[in-house]
A and B are shown apart, each in its own frame.
Chain A
Amino acid sequence: MRGLIGNRWAELGAMALLIGLVGLILPSGYYFRVGALVLVSAIAALGLNLLLGYAGQVSLGHAGFVGIGAYAVALLPTYWGVPTLLALAGGAVFSGLLALALGRPILRLKGHFLAVATLGLGILVAMVLTNEARITGGPDGMPVPRLELFGTRIRAPETWYWITGGVLLVATFFAQNLLNSSTGRALRALHDSEVAARAAGIDVARIKGIVFAVSAIYASVSGSLLALLNGHITPDVASFLNSIELVTMVVLGGMGSLLGSLIGAAVLVILPQALTIFHEYEHLLLGSFIILIMIFLRDGIVPTLRKRFTERGS
């Protein structure tokens, strides 16, 4: 049992199994839609986990990159007739390059300063999307042309569930590859001691830039898929609240656990849906639930449970 858990592909396998099994038992379109929303959020959370959970660099502005991805698939096909998939790739490349360009100066900062700088980045994107009302529709948002694959429009929530699940698995595969390389070891090392990492010959600025760019690309792809899934988009996707929600997903699910990103996303997407029956007490209950998780599962859901499981097993 221990060997299975320790295996580096176990998380990818567990994730595939989870997505597959849940996909088989979901009863209706509504549930598939919620499932797809979970998977879309998990892609962004996964990228942020590389930055926050593994490399230990805080970003409070990641929703900004989600916004860039979302508006890329809304604006480019609408105004310039760019094919949707190309627009998705374009948004991802732009986000990655923006992260690389801004990463150098921003990631020199530490702790609170880094948090505030990334916060500013996110707010800037949200403001541009809101104020360029002429093309973005302002606060009311804009419709997103549907994705067409093989001549058919993708609308069914079931289809979106499987597409986003596939993308999440590919994203996990890449993340796993990165972590299991010298780049991955370097980014985990600078989390614990930057001075020792530099003494070991690690170009800290370069590694931070890479992981910031990768996480930005993940956020952008997540945003594109979200826009296509919803068919309509507003600047709210890039809001500060969404950035915080992404951070909460990572911390709740488990910093430094890829499977944790999916679990964290699931909790934060499903719970508010389930709690709507309590009407005005919804937020109170959601907050209490998160506090309880952080008290009893301090390292995040997945790492804490795994630790208990392996300790009992050995």
Chain B
Amino acid sequence: MSLLAVKGLGIGFGGIRAVDNVTFSTEPGKIFSIIGPNGAGKTTLFNLISGVYRTESGSVTILDEEVTRLSPEALAARGMARTFQNLQVFFRMSALDNVMVGAHVHEAPRGLSHLLGLPSTARENRQTRDEAMALLTRLRLADVAERTAGNLSYGQLKRLEIARALASRPKILLLDEPAAGCNPTETAEIDEIIVEVARSGVGILLVEHDMKLVMGVSDRVLVLTQGRVLIEGTPAEVANSPAVIEAYLGTGLPSLEATHA
């Protein structure tokens, strides 16, 4: 039984098939990466899987449960969490509050007892706060916990999004370019975090432009071009595939190594 299984997923925008017949599956504790040139449909695929867009064809299952076309909040309740390529942080709230929001699925929806400030609310707050603090510590953000998120550095915000996603205790974590715009030190930090999270048993779906990061941490890599699956395999298989080299560089260049130059 695979953790997340995607079968024949597709969507079109005005005649263009942005994502076309994509099929793959991921396992718990493994890192599955999706790469591809700009405009290949990586983020669209992410938005389809996480319920932001409604898929036109195909299906998505989590642990064999059909979750196709469910809303993002329903998917969150079923163990899916995600981060965003363009930061979607709650900028007016403190770093701690941001992570506490991430634990929303584990809190009881009792508006009335919240309004009355019953002891159950205080208990719930304390528990959520303790868990959020532990996550902030794990992502080395403990010293900025009380700071307003809008005042944090870019690298800190990237980690804050991961902390918020982890607060829901997900089974599957979707990371959309977690290292985009980060310097090499920050990228190395994120690299370390991703591996650590996977080791704790969470299945990770990663979209990333940083080839070094992808090839270093991934168990499986899927290459997407023009919305279609070009190849799926181990990092080594993908790196040596002539089709991938052609898709990235066009014909006539000797190897993928040229991208690192």
What residues of chain A have their CB less than 8 Å away from a CB belonging to chain B? 173-174, 176-178, 180-186, 188-189, 191-193, 195-204, 206, 210, 214, 256
Contact = CB atoms under 8 A, between A and B. Distances in A.
A181 B121 contact: yes
A183 B111 contact: yes
A199 B115 contact: no
Interface in B126-175: 128, 164, 168
Q: Which 5 A-B residue pairs are closest in the complex by CB-CB distance?
A: A201-B76, A177-B117, A181-B114, A201-B105, A196-B88
A173 B89 contact: no
Contact of A177 (B50, B84, B91, B115): B115
B104 interface: yes
A202 B116 contact: no
Contacts of B76: 198-201
Contacts of A206: 109
B168 A180 contact: no
A168 to B, nearest CB: 16
Interface string B92-135: 11000110111111011101001111000100110010000000
A192 B89 contact: yes
Contacts of A214: 115
B52 interface: yes
For chain B, the bracket of interface size reads 35 or more
A188 B96 CA distance: 13
Contacts of B90: 188-189, 191-193, 196-197
A74 B9 CA distance: 60
A200 B168 contact: yes
A199 B97 contact: no
B92 A188 contact: yes
Contacts of A185: 93, 97, 100-101, 104
A180 B107 CA distance: 13
Contacts of A180: 117, 121, 125
B52 A195 contact: yes
A23 to B, nearest CB: 26
B84 A173 contact: no
A189 B99 CA distance: 11
A177 B116 contact: yes
A183 B89 contact: no
B81 interface: yes
Contact of B92 (A173, A186, A191, A195): A191
Contacts of A203: 73, 109
Residue among B90, B97, B101 facing the most chain A CB atoms (10 A cut-off): B101
A277 to B, nearest CB: 41
A61 to B, nearest CB: 22
B51 to A, nearest CB: 8
Contact of A195 (B88, B100, B121): B88
Given A196-B89, A196-B90, A206-B109, A177 B101 contact: no
A189 B115 contact: no
Interface string B39-52: 00000000000101
Given A199-B76, A201-B105, A202-B104, A192 B117 contact: no
A206 B111 CA distance: 10
Contacts of A186: 101, 104
A182 B88 contact: no
A186 B90 CA distance: 10
Contact of A192 (B82, B92, B109, B111): B92
A51 to B, nearest CB: 14
A204 B121 CA distance: 20
A183 B114 contact: yes
23 contacts: A174-B116, A177-B115, A178-B114, A181-B124, A182-B103, A182-B104, A182-B109, A185-B93, A185-B97, A186-B104, A188-B92, A189-B90, A189-B98, A189-B101, A197-B101, A198-B72, A199-B73, A200-B81, A200-B102, A201-B76, A201-B105, A203-B109, A214-B115
B188 interface: no
Interface string B58-88: 0000000000000111001100011010001
Nearest to B120: A181
A197 B101 CA distance: 8
A196 B73 CA distance: 10
Interface in B156-207: 164, 168
B161 to A, nearest CB: 8
A182 B99 CA distance: 12
